[in-house]
Amino acid sequence: MASAGIYSARSPNSSRKPPSDRQSVPAFKSIRSLPGEFRFMESPTSRPLEEVKHVNGGFTGNGILEEDEGDAVDESDQVGYDSPYGRNAQAGEGTPNDQLDAIVSPLPSTPSLLIESKWSDTASYVKKKNLHAWYQLQNGNWELAKIISTSGTDLIISLPEGKVLRLQADVLLPANPDILDGVDDLMQLSYLNEPSVLYNLQYRYDRNMIYTKAGPVLVAVNPFKRVGLYGNDYIEAYKRKSIESPHVYAIADTALREMRRDEVNQSIIISGESGAGKTETAKITMQYLAALGGGSGIEYEILKTNPILEAFGNAKTLRNNNSSRFGKLIEIHFSETGKISGARIQTFLLEKSRVVQCAEGERSYHIFYQLCAGAPPVMREKLKLKRVEEYKYLCESNCYTVSGVDDAEEFHNVMEALDVVHVNKDEQQSAFVMVAAVLWLGNISFTVTDNENHVEPVVDEALLSVAELMSCSIEALQLALSTRNMKVGSDIIVQKLTLPQAIDARDALAKSIYSCLFDWLVEQINKSLSVGKRRTGRSISILDIYGFESFERNSFEQFCINYANERLQQHFNRHLFKLEQEEYIQDGIDWARVDFEDNQDCLNLFEKKPLGLLSLLDEESTFPNGTDLTFANKLKQHLKSHPCFRGERDKAFVVSHYAGEVTYDTTGFLEKNRDLLHTDSIHLLSSCSIPLPQIFASSMLTQSEKRVVGPLHKSGGAESQKLSVATKFKAQLFQLMQRLENTTPHFIRCIKPNNLQSPGIYEQALVLQQLRCCGVLEVVRISRSGFPTRMSHQKFSRRYGFLLQDSVATRDPLSVSVAILHHFQILPEMYQVGYTKLFFRTGQIGILEDTRNRTLHGILRVQSCFRGYQARRSLQEFKKGISTLQSFIRGEKTRKEFAALLQRHRAATVIQKHVKGKNTWKRCVEVTKAAVVMQAVIRGWLVRKCSGNIGLLNLVERKASQSDEVLVTALYLAELQRRVLKAEAALRHKEEENEILQQRLRQYENRWSEYELKMKSMEEVWQKQMRSLQSSLSIAKKSLAADDLGRRSDASVNTGEEREYSGDTNSTIFKSHETNGVRSMSASLSIINRLADEFEQRRQVFGDDAEFLVEVKSGHADASLDPDREFGRLKQQFESWKKDYAMRLRETKTILDKLDNEGRTTPDKARKKWWGRKNTSRLT
């Protein structure tokens, strides 16, 4: 047997069957270990628990310790601050009781992973104590029972509902103290048994703490609801290490830090059964890595692969609405700076059978429903899509939707994700064409053509649609689905298919197309995420793989999945033992080998050659006449003596896995292992005119060329065979394990708390089964076999040092720790002292905790009494002081109130005086006015009486005319006011317009000044250029005149000499030369004159045009043209003329230089010729 690290292997024990009742909720109760005279009151943050009856005293609820004096709770909180059990630990108190005389030992039928009798020597702790223990009911659930009394090996216990039982001590399992309720690491539990682990997980689950550590393993319980544990704030907190509670972020952060620090590849292995939350956990892990390693932009592409893989690889099952029907390994690569540089995805064992058949209440792959619901009208018409209910592959299960999921919206998310990972529109269209073709393949029907049940496809809408979508001929499609070409020697025989064979051929084609499409999509994603030259070799791999599965009927898929989990479990065990060994060696403690369940026997059952399960399966698959029954019989014949194998009736057999026994039904094993697709179907795909089916056909032909020699060579058998599904899966698994062996692994076990997928429901039996299957309880058992409780010297001395005398407690932490162990007589075999930590066996920390609690209880009692006395004395003194202070305050307050009242009285008197005087004055004025009015009335009456009626009438008429005049005057004034207002408004409007016009005038003046400056600058430039040209021309004239004068002087000298020595003949020659020189000079002068005339003419023209444009611009001249545009054209003309003129001037200068050289050379030659003749004549 193989051994791992310091541990020796032993054969696995048969595990206990899980209880059949999974619907019952565990009736856990809080552990009680406080004295009877103490009572509890309900904590506002704790969940309500049922009341537990105590024989010696009552206490209810779970939460805050309540005493008669109020400060006791605060003291206990302060003392418990250094607790090594995390922030959620609550201080519990010990209970002295002399009634318990027997040790609580485990039940014999309990699995060995829960109880190790050699580590159960805790008599010094549990003897004579009144404790609680776990009792298993008949339905498999665990109840927290209270031990009332003990007599030898017999115990009397009381259950929460009040029932009292008498039983043996070995049927109980010990419970942990209250301080360990809800610890975030199961290794901190003193008693690592099944009910304690289940209770701790439920305690945290009820408080939305879904993550718990089990040593190196993170246990994640699916809450089936949104919990506020994610987001940028939590990412930043775990990045800064400000939060230390268990979390997926913490696992990802640890992997990232170790990769950067050690430069070693890391792996995060996520497992669990369907519906446990593996896919979401993988997403959360990728989000954290993308947040910390992002920056290059590729992290967004990596996250966008999830919608694509979920659409094409996930489906709704009875256990999970988004179940991954394949395993995947996402390898994320990092650059030297720690940023994500790329990724690669590897998939395992896609469930192809789901394409053609689904169980009742389940769905096929999401992409089928998303395409039918969300495809745009143009795509629907091109793909000939119909409603989901009209496709046979989808309607058999009678399940078309998922609660709370919009398939149309999800389809748009898939389209967006495909764009992000750089799958172009044509490739997307081809992929959806293949999906539609698979749907239409399921609608193809067959008709029987003869008495032998031979069939041919019916030419209907389905057949025509498949042929059109795949761009193949209808005849080729009919032949591929109804016939099979068989090669016998050199001849090819065409065999007609029966109805079952034709249906199998049709379904095999559909499954192969979808499988190739899935692999092609993964390949396209990998191309988009490829690392290239940026690869540094450092990576973090996230493995999202199916967990151990055990159903009522287990088929080939469960066979492969459980085989993979056996391999992963062995990798997990080896890594765990390695960590244990490293920690023991690092602290320098004495350790011994610990037995563990080695699953090598089960792996040999699968892998051994030639009589292993996989070998026998491949061997039987090579025989054409092999059936599922013959395969089952062969297994029973060759493997009946294997300890992990047991044959059953008919086609069934049983395998003892590490997680328990699983019964497999061999029905369909051979067909799924062969995964046959005949060459006719491959040729059909290769004959299609679109590229994607041709790529699929090429891939299938490549795989079919990889052949292995068959195990047997018999007549009628196949000499060679295509690689079977089991063989390919085994090769993939070995490659995966080799990759994981080269990484530092981190484990996350996902747990599904209930099968209803509802929040708040915790099924004890279901959780327990998963804990066994994913190996968490095995981790607990291994840790329990060693030293599960570990505490640093500093924490240990701070927590328990006060129990010693002051002279001892002031020493160094190591000496204090050793003194504590000796003082309380802890057995040497129950602990080990390391360099930095103390290592304890199971339950040993409870002894010290009990003593500490009792000591603290006494201290709290003394403190409460003393504080009560101090409080009463302080209260009396305080009351006396208050009375004296109140008397002074009240006197001062009364004096202030009297002063304020006196001031108010004086102020009121002054106010009353002024108010009364004012009122008297008002009354006097009113009386005076009334007297005047009365006098006026009387006097008027007297006047009217004397004047008579005529005067009265005249007076009335004058008053009427005066009122009319007043009315007219008022109207006239109103009209004048209106006109004045209107004039003022018009004046304001004119002023505003004037202001605008002035602004525009200023703008025009500014522009005009700019134009004038530009014109002046241009004119200066032109004048300079004209002057330069004129100076060049004058220089040319002077140089020409000087040359002319030189030539004439030379000609005169030469002429005199010739006349003196030669005579008439030579004079004729020199006359011709003189004539040529004069002609050259005249030609040069004419050229220069023409250039000078042209210069003057052009200068005049450009100057006139510029002055005209300036006049037009300034408004002094009228012309229908754009001055700016004409000025630009004039400038271009001037530049072009200037270049041309300069070029001609250079050419003229060159010609003049050439003529000058010729003129100088010719006389010299003639002179030399003459001189030669002269010398010859003299010699003669």
Span 178-229, pLDDT tens digits? 888 889 988 888 888 889 899 999 999 999 999 999 878 899 999 999 999 9
pLDDT of residue 1173: 44
Instruction: Tell me whether strands 789-792 and 837-840 are parallel, antiparallel or unpaired.
Output: antiparallel
pLDDT greater than 80 at residue 1038: no
DSSP readout, 1074-1125?
HHHHHHHHHHHHHHHHHHHHHHHHHHHHHHHHHHHHHHHHHTSS--SS-HHH
Q: Which are the contacts of 260, defined by CB distance < 8 A and separation ≥ 6?
A: 338, 538
Once rounded to an integer, what is the mean pLDDT over residues 958-976? Answer: 68
d(CA 78, CA 28): 29
Span 292-305, pLDDT tens digits? 887 777 888 999 99
pLDDT greater than 90 at residue 428: yes
pLDDT greater than 80 at residue 523: yes
pLDDT greater than 60 at residue 534: no
d(CA 220, CA 229): 12
pLDDT of residue 1161: 56
DSSP readout, 1002-1015?
HHHHHHHHHHHHHH
DSSP 129: B
Burial class of residue 803 in the structure, from the number of CB atoms within 10 Å of its CB (0-12 exposed, 13-18 middle, 19+ buried): middle
Q: Which are the contacts of 74, defined by CB distance < 8 A and separation ≥ 6?
A: none
d(CA 364, CA 371): 13
Please tell me whether the peptide bond between 174 and the residue prior to it is cis, using omega within 30 degrees of 0.
Answer: no
Q: At what angle do helices 407-420 and 366-374 cross, to 10 degrees?
A: 100
Lowest mean pLDDT among 137-141, 471-475, 918-922: 137-141
The CB density around residue 470, as the number of other CB atoms within 10 Å, is 25
The CB density around residue 644, as the number of other CB atoms within 10 Å, is 22
Span 238-286, pLDDT tens digits? 998 888 899 999 999 999 988 988 888 999 999 888 888 888 999 999 9
Span 884-905, pLDDT tens digits? 999 999 999 999 999 999 999 9
Lowest mean pLDDT among 693-707, 866-880, 886-900: 693-707
d(CA 68, CA 1166): 147
Joined tokens for residue 84: 């090594």
**Residue 517 contacts residue 312 (beta carbons within 8 Å):** yes
DSSP 169: G
- The set of long-range contacts for 58-63, using a CB threshold of 8 Å and a minimum separation of 24, is 59/32, 59/34, 62/30, 62/178, 62/181, 63/90
- Gyration radius from the chain CA atoms: 54
Identify the CA nearest to 752 among candidates 543, 547, 568, 545.
547
Joined tokens for residue 542: 């996230």
Q: Look at the pTM and tell me if it is higher than 0.75.
A: no
Instruction: Tell me whether strands 483-488 and 538-544 are parallel, antiparallel or unpaired.
Output: unpaired
Once rounded to an integer, what is the mean pLDDT over residues 569-598? Answer: 75
pLDDT of residue 50: 33
pLDDT of residue 950: 57
pLDDT greater than 70 at residue 348: yes
pLDDT of residue 955: 64
pLDDT greater than 50 at residue 1090: yes
pLDDT of residue 624: 81
Task: Work out the pLDDT band at 1063, boundaries 50, 70, 90.
Answer: very low
Percent of the chain with pLDDT over 70: 77
Greatest mean pLDDT range, 123-127, 514-518, 570-574, 1125-1129: 514-518
Burial class of residue 444 in the structure, from the number of CB atoms within 10 Å of its CB (0-12 exposed, 13-18 middle, 19+ buried): buried
Identify the CA nearest to 672 among candidates 408, 350, 419.
350
Lowest mean pLDDT among 469-473, 574-578, 933-937: 574-578
**Residue 192 contacts residue 840 (beta carbons within 8 Å):** no
Task: Work out the pLDDT band at 1178, boundaries 50, 70, 90.
Answer: very low
Task: Work out the pLDDT band at 1156, boundaries 50, 70, 90.
Answer: low
Identify the CA nearest to 1088 among candidates 1042, 1034, 1136, 1044.
1034
pLDDT of residue 64: 30
Once rounded to an integer, what is the mean pLDDT over residues 533-539? Answer: 69
Higher pLDDT, 697 or 720: 697
DSSP 950: H
pLDDT greater than 80 at residue 755: yes
Average pLDDT, the chain: 77
pLDDT greater than 50 at residue 639: yes
pLDDT greater than 90 at residue 463: yes
Higher pLDDT, 110 or 153: 153
Lowest mean pLDDT among 387-391, 492-496, 660-664: 492-496
**Residue 384 contacts residue 490 (beta carbons within 8 Å):** no
pLDDT of residue 905: 93
Tokens 């003329």 found at: 1137
pLDDT of residue 705: 58
Task: Work out the pLDDT band at 130, boundaries 50, 70, 90.
Answer: very low
Once rounded to an integer, what is the mean pLDDT over residues 787-795? Answer: 81
Torsion of CA 289, 291, 292, 296, to 10 degrees: 100
Please give the single-letter amino acid code of residue 1179.
L
Span 705-718, pLDDT tens digits? 554 434 333 333 33
Q: Which are the contacts of 215, defined by CB distance < 8 A and separation ≥ 6?
A: 185, 186, 187, 576, 579, 779, 780, 783
Joined tokens for residue 1132: 């271009």
Joined tokens for residue 174: 């010990």
Handedness of CA 724, 727, 730, 731 (dihedral sign): negative
Task: Work out the pLDDT band at 433, boundaries 50, 70, 90.
Answer: very high
Q: Which are the contacts of 299, defined by CB distance < 8 A and separation ≥ 6?
A: 289, 290, 293, 340
**Total length of the chain:** 1180
Tell me the catalytic residues.
274-275, 279, 320, 323-324, 547, 549
pLDDT greater than 50 at residue 119: no
Q: Which are the contacts of 675, defined by CB distance < 8 A and separation ≥ 6?
A: 352, 724, 725
pLDDT of residue 948: 60
pLDDT greater than 80 at residue 422: yes
Element (H, E) at 311: helix 305-313
